Amino acid sequence: MRTVPTIVWLWLALPVFAPAGASQAVSPGDVGVQERLGQKVPLDVPFLDEHGREITLRQLADRPVVLTLNYFRCSGICTPLLNGLVDALNELKLDPDRTFRVVTVSFDERDTPQIARKKRDNLIKQLKRPFSPSTWRLLVGRTDATGGRPSSVEALTRAVGFQYRSQGKEFVHPGVVVVLSPTGVVTRYMYGVNFPAADLEMAIREATRGQARPTVIKALQFCTVYDPESRQQVFRLTRLVGAVTLVGLALFVVILIRAGRPVAKGPE
């Protein structure tokens, strides 16, 4: 009977059906998001804006803030995330100059105001609707004399529960958008690189009222993580994909077993 060898072969071949990059993916470890819904971020820590001027989040939080944490030389998840946000903003019905503001903060101490300004200009060009540069701000931290990570960036990332780490010249970090109320309270987390305009609009409206909403889909927290070794996006929904794969293989085995059964012959 060939059924048993077939099952053994399928079991041994299971790693082949695993999602590409899953086996060599960088383990998140201390990388991820510890949600801080309802908690307030530090509004008075200083950053530098695109022109090298000192600025605080308090100066920008006169309306809900759509916050992203990236680094501007990122060759991984940052660009898809920001492009996904651009797509959502293009479909959004809200007036950005009156109802919300986007703030992108770099956690890479090597990023400068000049790099931030160039990145901001490129993002604004992708928007298909009137969007003043003051409505999307890109900030960097002030590096101290030691050249280490700016304390303002560390204070903000801790406040929103954004955990990342450097690996070589790159960073391993989650892809997430954090929505803040006008008083600096964390009200929503949105994961991944695609953000439906309706969801973003609802998040902004809720932030206006100061309503914190729990994240429904937390499985997407590690959906995309940049792997600096393979220089590609690694999809980490391994449990879901593994379960689907096992179900598919089980059905395949059942079909093989049924196909291998001798057909009963009727009386001649």
pLDDT tens profile 113-125: 999 999 999 999 9
Question: Which strands sit side by side in the sheet containing 136-141, from one edge to the other?
Answer: 54-56, 46-48, 136-141, 101-106, 65-70, 176-180, 186-191
Residue 23 confidence (pLDDT): 30
Are 36 and 80 contained in the same domain?
yes
**143-154 per-position pLDDT tens digit:** 665 555 668 999
Residue 110 confidence (pLDDT): 92
Residue 183 confidence (pLDDT): 96
Token pair for 7 = 């099952």
Domain housing 141 = 32-235
Are 195 and 223 contained in the same domain?
yes
Are 199 and 124 contained in the same domain?
yes
pLDDT at 228 over 70: no
Q: Is residue 267 included in any domain, yes or no?
A: no
- 11 Cβ neighbours under 8 A, 6+ residues apart: none
Rounded Cα distance, 181 and 40, in Å: 9
Residue 29 confidence (pLDDT): 57
Lowest mean pLDDT, pick from 117-126, 205-214, 252-261: 252-261
Determine if residue 170 is left, alpha or beta; phi over 0 gives left, psi from -120 to 50 gives alpha, anything else beta. beta
Residue 167 confidence (pLDDT): 84
Q: Is residue 25 included in any domain, yes or no?
A: no
Residues 54-70 have a mean pLDDT of 96
Are 212 and 149 contained in the same domain?
yes
Are 210 and 244 contained in the same domain?
no
Q: How confident is the model at residue 266 (pLDDT cuts 50, 70, 90)?
A: low
Are 135 and 154 contained in the same domain?
yes
Residue 147 confidence (pLDDT): 55
Are 228 and 248 contained in the same domain?
no
Are 84 and 108 contained in the same domain?
yes
Are 168 and 81 contained in the same domain?
yes
Q: Is residue 65 included in any domain, yes or no?
A: yes
> For the chain, how many structural domains are there in total?
2
